[in-house]
Amino acid sequence: MRYLIFYVTGIFLLLSTYAWGGSVSKDYFGMHVHRSNQNKLWLNSGLGSIRLHDANVTWLDLQPSPDSWKWAWLDGMVNRATAANVSILLPLQGTPAWASRTPELKAAYGYGANAMPSNLAAWENYVEAVVSRYRGKIAAYEIWNESNLSHFFSGNPEDLALLTKSAVKIIRQIDPEAKVVCPSGVGDYGIKWFKRLLATEVMSDCDVISYHFYTKHQPPESMLPIIDDIKIAIRAAGYQRKPLWNTETGWLIDTPEGVDPVLAGFKADAKKLNDFESVSYLLRSFILGAGADLGRFYWYSWDHPSMGITKGRGTGWRPAAIAFKNLTVILDGGVVEPCRLSADQWVCNGSLKDGRKGFWVWSTKSTMKNFSGIYNVLQFQSDGGLILQHRVKKAVPIGTLPSFLYKSS
């Protein structure tokens, strides 16, 4: 298995038919790393930003009782990411039972964790404690997670706007350099809820708008209509100048031991990606997201047992992890133009960092198609590796793995 077959000093970039293109920074390459305290492989992955969700650092983890705080776990994560110059996004979420309006009701992260706090002062004390402790270290705070889903948040958009406004005031006072990321919805089924949140005008208080572009296990290209709908709603509300981040998207990924979709929280017949598909989906997702002008894309996840791209909960390389690392090398710093779909092929014009122009191309079908012309071809492989073929004079076979084609100057 090869790690990085070919490094290019330049960079390529891509985009979506549904949105505006943009540049790609290191921070764009986000990842969920749940065990960043225990494993080191992620430090060599090329990621630029990390979202600390499902990492045992919620409010209820940090403050299990009114007078006790447990900081050691989050301290370790923050210190390690900071030392590696990785930007940190921390969701503020998860009401402890002692502070919850409904402590008797079971939620995703514990009893009462999805509810509004019974006293807003408890929420404000939590936010103040976190931001004070990590001032200058945590770069961005996201208010809650997938709030349109009742097992994460049982309140309404107006409740969440109240929590957001109070958190914003505290964050601005203590750490004015930190960004505030507004609450996220998820999927096409969250758009109606998201519009209600927009109507509260809370987005005016945030630096960043977020959404989770899950596709109900459909291919990555299915993100684009959802992105388009969200951008239309944002524009209609007058917030089109604010950056949009995809703070979570992923797919089930099978393992040699097998993955049970039901245990992972999905339906029994949910699609599970094999290694080849996970490479293809990951690459296409980040390329499409860059083309859709998403400021960041946080893949879920690096080390999850049923959605992770590594072996052993983050201790060994799998093909998708290798592909991610290679993509960060060739795509960081590029500029993208919109993609277009033509005859089952996605074609995305772009340029390398050194100014060479070309395009990404892949097919949405498993059968190979040919692309005629004389090109240099930078091609991802099924093991996540990357190879370059100079001046290919025959038709270039195009499959579901992206390739970048360009002509010599």
Q: How many domains does the chain have?
A: 1
pTM: 0.93
What is residue 11's predicted lDDT score, i.e. its pLDDT?
A: 31
What is residue 409's predicted lDDT score, i.e. its pLDDT?
A: 57
In a domain, 381, yes or no: no
Residue 23: strand pairing partners:
335
In a domain, 250, yes or no: yes
Q: What is the CATH number of the domain that holds 86?
A: 3.20.20.80
In a domain, 319, yes or no: yes
Print the domain residue range for 246: 26-334
The pLDDT tens digits along the chain (409 residues) read 333 333 332 333 333 333 455 678 999 999 999 999 999 999 999 999 999 999 999 999 999 999 999 999 999 999 999 999 999 999 999 999 999 999 999 999 999 999 999 999 999 999 999 999 999 999 999 999 999 999 999 999 999 999 999 999 999 999 999 999 999 999 999 999 999 999 999 999 999 999 999 999 999 999 999 999 999 999 999 999 999 999 999 999 999 999 999 988 899 999 999 999 999 999 999 999 999 999 999 999 999 999 999 999 999 999 999 999 999 998 888 887 888 898 889 988 887 777 778 898 999 886 666 777 788 888 999 999 999 888 877 778 889 999 989 887 5
Gyration radius from the chain CA atoms = 21
In a domain, 342, yes or no: no
In a domain, 115, yes or no: yes
In a domain, 19, yes or no: no
Tokens matching residue 353: 């960092």
In a domain, 310, yes or no: yes
What is residue 265's predicted lDDT score, i.e. its pLDDT?
A: 87
What is residue 407's predicted lDDT score, i.e. its pLDDT?
A: 85
In a domain, 340, yes or no: no
What is residue 40's predicted lDDT score, i.e. its pLDDT?
A: 95
User: C-alpha 56: how far from its chain's center?
Assistant: 18
- C-alpha angle with apex 303: 275 to 108, nearest 5 degrees? 115
Spatial strand order of the sheet with 403-406 comes to 335-342, 345-351, 357-363, 403-406, 375-380, 386-392
User: Beta strands of 226-334 (E only): which ranges?
Assistant: 244-249, 297-299, 310-311, 316-317
